[in-house]
Structure formats: structure tokens, C-alpha cells
Amino acid sequence: MITASRARVQDFVEQTRFQQTVMAVIVFNAITLGLETSPTLMDVHGGTLHLIDRVVVVIFVVELSLRLYAYGWRFFRDPWNVFDFVIVAIALLPVTGEFGVLRALRILRAMRLISVVPSMRRVVGGLLAALPGMGSIAALLVLIMYVAAVIGTKLYGGVAPDYFGNLGVTLFTLFQTMTGEAWPDVARTVMEQSPYAWIFFVIYILISSFMVLNLFIAVVVSAMEGQVAEEVAAEVREAEAESAAEERAANAEILAELRALRAEVADLRVRD
């Protein structure tokens, strides 16, 4: 049972202004953490930047405490709330001694924008939904790279040992070729000794870059479309439920008026 005070706090944390304020604090904190990477600024304004950082942590703790009080244990049922809780908890860990490396993790607070901005949440949700399909495509890509690496090492290991000397070097060369980074230089080096090597490179690039990598995009887009469709369906169901509730309330009011009218008519008949 939600108490009146919890209901008021819940209404407060769900206000658009409150969420926009939290978003502004997150952006401001990300900027100040970026400024801390400048030695010149730290020499002049280091104390101010550290003070701002502490104030921001206090604001995040208060904000999280309000949400915890408003929702109770239901707070942890939302994965995004758990994400925010972990990020803020990291900020409260000591950053001295052997924990000094945790200072670099403070920038993770900027990641809270994902949980605050609905459009970012949809994008991340689409990526997570696409992970099973992406795993299958990644396995297919690894298999293609392995087969091509074995072929490339056997064909061009003696021609260009810097690029195809062993299986590990060949895999790195093929990954570089797949990304399009300086692969013409690699191809020309090999083609100086093996003129028909362009056939190997063209076939590999067509399969790995133009086919398999585009499948990743297709899977992500499909998952995001499915997520959007689910959200639209949920909104439609919610709207239908509200409409049905309003219709039931209107019907109940009409029935109450009819009963009252019948009671008045019956009372008039008795008097007559």
C-alpha cells in the first residue's frame, strides 16, 4: 500500500522538470570531469572542480534516495534503476590508495543519460534484443575469417610474410582488410609477387564487409522495429483499458441515475 507521502514523492520524481534537472546535472558533471583531464585547468581550478564533483555526488545520492523511498523494493525491478544504483554506488567508493583507479570510473556517471533519455533507452534495448542474432552472425564471421586466414597463409605466406607469415598475423591482416583500413597497400604488396591475388581480396571483402557486416545492421534494425512495435502495442492496450474504464464509469453513472429516477417515479405512484 502506497502511503500519501510516498505518493507525493513519486509524483515529484516523475515530473518532467525533475527529470530534466537530473539530465542537466549529468551533462554538467560529464563536462567537469572532462575538464579535470587538463593539467593546466587542474592547477588553477582543481579545488573548484573537486568541490563540484562532490556536490554532484550529493545530488545523485539525494535523487536516488527519493526514488528508492517513492518506489520501495519495486525500484529494483527496473533494470535501468539498478544501472543507476550501481553507477552512483561506484561514485561513493573510496578513491585513495589501491582504489585510486576508481577515479577514472567517475565518468561512468555520464552513462546515466541512457536511463534518463527514453530514446537512448530504446536504442540500447534494441541492441540488447539483437544480441542473440548478432552472436550467430559473429560466429559466421569468425568462421569466414578463419577459413580465409588458412587459405591466405598457405598462398601468400612466402610472398608477404609481414602480412601472411602465420595464422595470427594473417587474421590481423584480414581484420584490417575487412574494416577497409589500408587494404589496397596490402593487396598491392602481395600482387607484386602474385598478380592474381586481387581475386582473393575482392572475394573476401565482398563476403565479409558487404554481406556479413551488413547483416549486423539488419538484425539491429529488426530488433529495434520489434521493440517499437511492442511499445506501440502497449500504449494502445493502455489507451483501450482507460477508455473501457471511462465507459464503465459512465455506464455506472447512467444506471445510478436511472435507479434514482425509477425510485422517484415509484415514490410518486405510492403517493398518488
Q: What's residue 96's pLDDT?
A: 62
What stretch of H or E contains 191?
Answer: helix 183-191
* N-term to C-term CA, the chain: 52
Quick one: pLDDT at residue 148?
93
Every domain range in the chain assigned CATH 1.20.120.350: 4-116
Q: What CATH number matches the domain at 4-116, 1.10.357.10, 3.40.50.1980, 1.10.3720.10, 1.20.120.350?
A: 1.20.120.350
Q: Which of 42, 115, 108 is nearest to 78 (CA)?
A: 115
* DSSP conformational letter for 180: T
Specify whether the CB–CB gap between 237 and 245 falls below 8 A: no
Rounded Cα–Cα distance for residues 126 and 114 (Å): 13
Angle, helix 167-179 to helix 131-156, in steps of 10 degrees:
120
Whole-angstrom CA distances from 190 to 169, 177, 203 are 14, 13, 15
Model confidence, pTM: 0.63
Q: Could you give the residue range(s) of every CATH 1.10.287.70 domain in the chain?
A: 117-272
Q: What's the sign of the alpha-carbon dihedral 155, 161, 166, 172?
A: negative
Q: Does domain 117-272 have CATH number 3.20.20.70?
A: no
Task: Look at residue 158 and give its three-state secondary structure.
Answer: coil
Distance CA 171, CA 182 (A): 15
Q: Which of 120, 134, 139 is nearest to 220 (CA)?
A: 134
**What pLDDT score does 103 carry?**
67
The residue to which cell 560529464 is assigned? 30
Are 189 and 95 in contact by the 8 Å Cβ rule? The answer is no
What pLDDT shows up at residue 97?
57
- Residues contacting 46, CB < 8 A, separation 6+: 36
pLDDT by residue for the chain (272 residues), tens only, comes to: 567 788 888 888 888 888 888 889 888 988 888 888 888 888 888 888 888 888 988 998 899 898 888 888 888 888 888 888 888 888 777 666 555 566 677 777 888 888 788 778 877 877 777 777 788 888 888 999 999 999 999 999 888 898 998 999 999 999 989 888 888 888 988 998 888 888 999 999 988 888 887 887 888 777 777 766 776 677 777 777 788 778 888 888 888 888 888 877 777 776 66
